């Protein structure tokens, strides 16, 4: 009889323990103890909105910090990477010019222009000298401009601009990054048609107002003025990191520059850019995934720029 009582008691204990563990997993218990065990104040039974928020935090790990936070995080690193890529591209342009026309800038117009661009953009001397030396080495293959197309997330398409002396290496690197990030390399022409190549002058949003730039654009025969994207929760720091883009032809570029020099600060020449014809808006999760993909692509030595049709 005593043995039967002990057995029955053990069953009751296991049932109670199981019920206790189940209650710990329930949203109701989470509302009481909070996330990571933090004690929360009691919640009225009719506070549905609060309960829903708690359940959302508990049921899935956040995949991003929201559109504004994603853009703020890593801003400095992004700007440094952008400058590094620009310097690298200028260095490769110098090497390519030497391969085509020799090392004398007096007789090589392409080289003279590349060296002047390096001075204007304050490219470090060691980068210039390293690429001049590299171009003079025996067996050095010619640099070739290539564009690789990648399917991003949320329907976003990306075009990867490359200036490389080894095509097989560059395409393998881009394909590898795309695969690791869960993206896919697209067939040539699948995405590129969604962009147009144009000469662009970038002006920080806090350096000029829209009306001023429209006047300059009209007077100098520019094709378009693209305004920076804005969000309701933008801070002053957010706005200072955005750019107006004056789109123009090569023929009118110098005219626009001369008018901007009269009182509007603009970014150093980045040459041509690929502009999306119909930018698309995606959710915050896709924003974060695309940001990670673009960052990893830009880390590749051969890659000079990555363009997307994401807003």
pLDDT digits (tens, 9 = 90+) for 9-61: 444 444 344 444 443 333 333 333 333 334 444 444 444 444 444 333 232 23
pTM of the model: 0.67
Q: What is the pLDDT of residue 240?
A: 62
Q: Helix (H, G, I), strand (E, B), or coil: what is residue 247?
A: strand
CA–centroid distance for 136 within its chain = 34
How far apart CA 211 and CA 168 sit, in angstroms, is 48
Integer Cα distance of 158 and 279 in angstroms: 11
Q: Where are the beta strands (DSSP E) in the chain?
A: 144-151, 157-164, 184-185, 195-204, 224-226, 243-248, 272-276, 303-308
Cα 160 to the center of its chain, rounded Å: 12
Encode 175-212 in three state secondary structure: HHHHHHCCCEECCCCCCHHHEEEEEEEEEEHHHCCHHH
How far is the C-alpha of 202 from the C-alpha of 253, rounded, in Å? 12
pLDDT, average across residues 165-183: 95
What are the backbone angles phi and psi of residue 128, rounded to the nearest 5°?
-65, -50
What does the pLDDT read at residue 263? 80
Average per-residue pLDDT for the chain: 76
User: What are the Cα distances from residue 123, in Å, to 87, 90, 94, 101, 202?
Assistant: 6, 8, 11, 22, 19
The pLDDT assigned to 267 comes to 78
- Mind listing the pLDDT tens digit for each residue in 69-121? 444 444 556 667 778 888 888 899 999 999 888 989 999 998 998 998 888 88
130 vs 135: CA distance, rounded Å:
9
β-bridge partners, 246: 201, 225
Domain boundary assignment for the chain: 2-59
Distance between CA 301 and CA 92 in Å, rounded?
11
Torsion of CA 40, 46, 47, 51, to 10 degrees: 80
- Is 70 exceeded by the pLDDT of residue 260? yes
């Amino acid at each position: 009889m005593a043995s039967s009582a002990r057995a029955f008691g053990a069953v009751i204990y296991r049932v109670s323990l199981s019920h206790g563990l189940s209650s710990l997993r329930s949203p109701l218990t989470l509302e009481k103890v909070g996330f990571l065990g933090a004690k929360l104040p009691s919640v009225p039974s009719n506070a549905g909105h609060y309960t829903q928020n708690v359940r959302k935090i508990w049921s899935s790990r956040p995949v991003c910090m929201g559109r504004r936070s994603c853009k703020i995080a890593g801003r400095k690193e992004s700007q440094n990477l952008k400058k590094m890529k620009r310097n690298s591209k200028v260095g490769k342009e110098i090497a390519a010019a030497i391969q085509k026309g020799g090392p004398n800038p007096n007789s090589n117009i392409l080289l003279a222009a590349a060296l002047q661009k390096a001075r204007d953009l304050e490219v470090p001397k060691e980068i210039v000298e390293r690429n001049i030396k590299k171009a003079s080495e025996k067996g050095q293959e010619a640099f070739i401009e290539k564009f690789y197309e990648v399917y991003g997330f949320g329907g976003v398409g990306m075009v990867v601009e490359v200036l490389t002396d080894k095509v097989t290496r560059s395409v393998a690197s881009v394909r590898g990054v795309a695969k690791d990030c869960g993206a896919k390399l697209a067939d040539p022409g699948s995405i590129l048609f969604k962009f147009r190549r144009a000469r662009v002058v970038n002006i920080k949003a806090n350096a000029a107002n829209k009306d001023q730039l429209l006047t300059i654009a009209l007077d100098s025969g520019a094709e378009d003025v693209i305004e920076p994207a804005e969000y309701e929760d933008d801070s002053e720091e957010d706005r200072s990191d955005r750019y107006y883009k004056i789109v123009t032809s090569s023929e009118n570029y110098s005219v626009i520059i001369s008018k901007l020099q009269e009182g509007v600060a603009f970014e150093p020449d980045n040459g041509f850019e690929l502009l999306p014809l119909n930018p698309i808006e995606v959710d915050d999760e896709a924003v974060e995934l695309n940001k990670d993909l673009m960052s990893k692509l830009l880390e590749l030595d051969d890659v000079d720029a990555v363009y997307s049709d994401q807003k």
